[in-house]
Amino acid sequence: MTHTTNGLEFDVLRRAYAAGTLSPVDAVNMAYDRIEATRETDGVWIHLEPREGVLAKARALQELSPEARAAMPLYGLPFGVKDCVDVAGVPTTAACPEYAYVPEESNPGVERLVAAGAIFVGKTNLDQFATGLVGARTPYGIARNPFDARYLPGGSSSGAAVSVALGHVSFGLGTDTGGSGRVPASYTATVGLKPSRGLISTRGMTPACRTLDCISVYATSAADALDVLDVAAAPDPTWPYSRANFDVPTKYRALAGDRFAFGVPRESQLEFHGDSVSEAMFEDGIRALEAMGGTRHEVDYAPFLEINDMMFMGPMVAERFAIFGEFLKRNPEAGHPITRMIILNAEEIRAHEAYRMLYRLEELRRQVATLWESFDTLLVPTVGRPFTIAELEAEPLKVNFDHGYYTNFVNPADLAAIAVPNGFGADGLPRGVTFAGPAGTDAWLAELGGRFHDRRGASRPAPVAVPA
């Protein structure tokens, strides 16, 4: 099936550039026209670069020799950056104006993208300090869900996902600690690629949990997201949390495209929070994966759930206090009430509790590692169901925890993952699924996720936000 296009997808721009029917200047103007048409109300952008300055960069790209342009894998592709990732000379706020600083250097991944010909447009909205999976904990307004403004956009990388869904940019950088690079993909019918930890350097970003953070990619297809990862990923010898490019685990090199095994949580462990549409669509997704050559295996989801609880209900949250606690104690009014409460409450966590958690986490990692002997990827819904803004306001903590049911475990368990669309329900809202696998399987997961997306999520209505 052919994906619905908005004119800024990689293949669309590449073909137009090659044919001479479009230029990077045209793409930039297209992006800015769309952004400026709704910027006052859509809550997507925290900072937008002046149009004329970005057009000058586009003209400079156009003036390069054909050979130089051909050597740039992301030539002429506009992109945005979540506003907790540094871009030199542009304020980083982490959705907290009082916390803002202006970095002198860009994150290494951002530098590599620009060097590859991508055109930086601006900084996108997020849950403050990347603490949340809902996209509503921000003083900059909620990035409107592209399909129904009564619903959340997902977080914390809300602006990055919505900007891609609305065709503001060709791709967006997000981040992911407990699901921030995947949850918004489900709400916006986009692809969210969560790389193996350390593939893209996290030097030059405001961390949520430095030991777990990843820079993620939002795009309209898995292939596009993988193109971005291939450019942005590189070892960073100056950063202790960078890791060298992973070798693909041996068995994944030998897997045939139409023969693979996938794990699914036991039926009693699947949670859709009462939404029969989401439940039926997930079952349809399973059948589609079987039709693609996959063999289904039921898996005990209990180890994953136990890791989940460590993220916000256990000592792991103390790392957020280590990063932001003193700032929020000095500036309590600067914090979103829920964010402030979560982070400051972690001050009471004791060191021995954290060590006990680390011991248990290592045991659970070992349990999870043995599962890949039985299947190749774990398939889960990205979120159990879509939630409205009103539901979040009524139960802010519960709704956030519910969003993490299928996401929080991925980084603590040292896995790679990709979230892709699983079609639209009768209610007009998209749903997504996530494929997870061992660190180093990023490309294999993207290939599988891309084929699934083509089969299940290609046809979609144009994203038009419902007026609030």
The residues assigned a catalytic role are: 82, 156, 180
Compute CA 393 distance to the chain's CA centroid, rounded to the nearest angstrom.
23
Is residue 7 within 8 A of residue 28, CB to CB? The reply is no
Question: Would residue 154 be called left, alpha or beta, if left means φ above 0 and alpha means ψ between -120 and 50 degrees?
Answer: left
Which token pair is 255? Answer: 């897997």
Is residue 222 within 8 A of residue 193, CB to CB? The reply is yes
Element (H, E) at 265: strand 260-265
Residues 6+ apart with CB under 8 A from 152: 134, 135, 136, 142, 145, 187, 386, 387, 388, 389, 392
Element (H, E) at 450: helix 442-456
Could you give the CA distance from residue 308 to residue 178 in angstroms, rounded to a whole number?
8
Question: Which amino acid would we find at residue 361?
Answer: L
Which token pair is 128? Answer: 């403050």
Could you give the CA distance from residue 109 to residue 85 in angstroms, rounded to a whole number?
10
What φ, ψ does residue 62 adopt, rounded to 5°? -65, -30
Concatenating the DSSP letter of every residue in 295-339 gives EEEEE--HHHHHHHHHHHHSGGGHHHHHHHHHHHHH-GGGS-HHH
